[in-house]
Structure formats: C-alpha cells, structure tokens
Amino acid sequence: MYNCSKELNRVALTKALLEVVQEIQTKLLAEDDEEREWLIKNSPNPVIAELISEMTIMMLHVLDAIGKLEPVNGITISKQFGFSKGSISKITRRMADKNIIQFEYIPHNKKEILFRTTPLGQEIYQLHLAMHRQIDIGVDYFLKQYSETELKFLVHVLSGALHTSWLYPEFIEDPTENNLSNEYRNDEIHNAKISSSTINADYYEIIDMIKKLEPHDLKEAKVILSEHFFE
C-alpha cells in the first residue's frame, strides 16, 4: 500500500535540504569577508593589511597557487583553478603592480612567463596558510561530533551532488533489472524520459493541493484515496 504520509515527509525533507544548501551557499559567500577580516586582523604590519584589503578573493587564490608551485606559469594556474588564461593574465598584472608577485622570463622564450612571490607576497602567502591551518582546526572540531558512518554517508552524498546537474539529472538505471534485455531497457528509459515532466508536474500539483487542506479535510481525502487507489 502506498504510504502518503511517508511521501509527504520525504517532500518536506527535500525542501528543507534545498533550503539548507541555499543557506550554506550564502554562508560561504559571507565567509569570504570573514576570512579577509581575519587576515587583516592578524597581519604582521599595516602595509600587509592594506594590501589584503585591496585584494580580491580570486587574487588570494592565485597567490596561494603561486606560493605553492613557484615558479609557475599561467597555464598551470588556469588548469588548477578552472580560471580562463585571460583572467589569470589580468590578475597577475594587478598583483605585479602591487609588488605582490614578480615576472620571470625564460631565456630565449619571451612568451613564457613564470610567476614568483615577492617578499611582500610571501608574507601574505604565509599568513594565508596560517588562516587555512586555523580553518582545518575548526573543521576537525566540528566533524568530531559525527560518527565514521555518518561521515562516509556525507562524503557519498556530497560526491554525488558534485557530479550531478540539477537542471539535467541523469536517468539512473536500476541495477536490479540487469536481466532485462538491452532493447527493452532502452525503451523503458525512453518512455520514462518522455513522461517524466508530465508526471512531475501532476505530482507536485497534487502535493500542493494536499498542503492547502484543513486537518478535517485531510482526513477525508486520506479515506477517499485509500478506498479508490490503494486497496
């Protein structure tokens, strides 16, 4: 028998999860400002604090890459962070103008430019490393409240979310149906894709209607549904 209450709970949990994800995204954006404030507060001198206040978050990421890999070229940084080579070029020019990094040319190859940190850049890089060590301590403290099983589940869910498009979710084949022929299975997938949008629209329309019912009407609707569809 179809459990309407269980499905309603699932819908409510899904809605709550999406709301939490949105709040996490907002929090992560706010933490950019929090990290900058920490860096400025813990700067060894006013010159460093002033430079950090003028740097964008992307500039800090690029500086972190240069500090780790120097001497390094723009292509390597671009691949590591997924930024365009044009963006890296603009950012590194701005950083060089502020004496945070310096350019190094390879002999007999003027097109190949390598980046190194200056003494000022190295101070900012080391401060940035110290901040991330502090973040690691905070993350470790937070995650200690969860069991190994819970952490494995969290890694599984987040890994799946990382490789899934919300706009174009993949049609996941049920592994228990391996005994079906490929031709039949492909037909099933094709039909499911065609009807999925209609089914989803009807489903959520029904859920919205149920949510609007008063408690006494909800009981009556439950009786009607049970008698006509789930006996």
**Count of CB atoms situated within 10 Å of the CB of 59:** 20
Distance CA(196)–CA(213), nearest Å, equals 26
Residue 85 clears pLDDT 60, i.e. is over it: yes
Question: Which residues share a beta bridge with 72?
Answer: 115
The share of the chain scoring above pLDDT 70, in percent, equals 69
**Count of CB atoms situated within 10 Å of the CB of 105:** 11
Could you tell me which residue, 129 or 17, shows the higher pLDDT? 129
In tens, the pLDDT along 138-194 reads 999 999 999 999 999 988 888 888 777 777 765 544 444 444 445 445 554 455 444
Could you tell me which residue, 32 or 174, shows the higher pLDDT? 32
Q: List strand residue ranges (DSSP E) for 79-172, in order.
A: 101-106, 109-117
Q: Return the pLDDT at 130.
A: 95
Q: Are 131 and 35 in contact (CB under 8 A)?
A: yes
Residue 93 clears pLDDT 80, i.e. is over it: yes
Q: With cut-offs at 50, 70 and 90, classify the pLDDT of residue 91.
A: very high
Q: Return the pLDDT at 67.
A: 95
Q: List strand residue ranges (DSSP E) for 95-135, in order.
A: 101-106, 109-117
Mean pLDDT, the chain, rounded, equals 78
- DSSP letter (8 states) at residue 181: -
Distance CA(114)–CA(93), nearest Å, equals 12
- Give how far Cα 187 sits from Cα of 29, 104, 171, 193, Å: 44, 60, 13, 10
Q: Return the pLDDT at 42.
A: 95
Distance CA(185)–CA(174), nearest Å, equals 10
Q: Return the pLDDT at 11.
A: 81
Angle between helices 57-69 and 85-97 (to 10 degrees): 90
Tokens 């890089």 — which residue?
Answer: 125
Distance CA(83)–CA(203), nearest Å, equals 41
Give residue limits of the domains in the chain: 171-229
In tens, the pLDDT along 189-228 reads 455 444 444 444 555 556 666 666 666 666 666 666 665 5
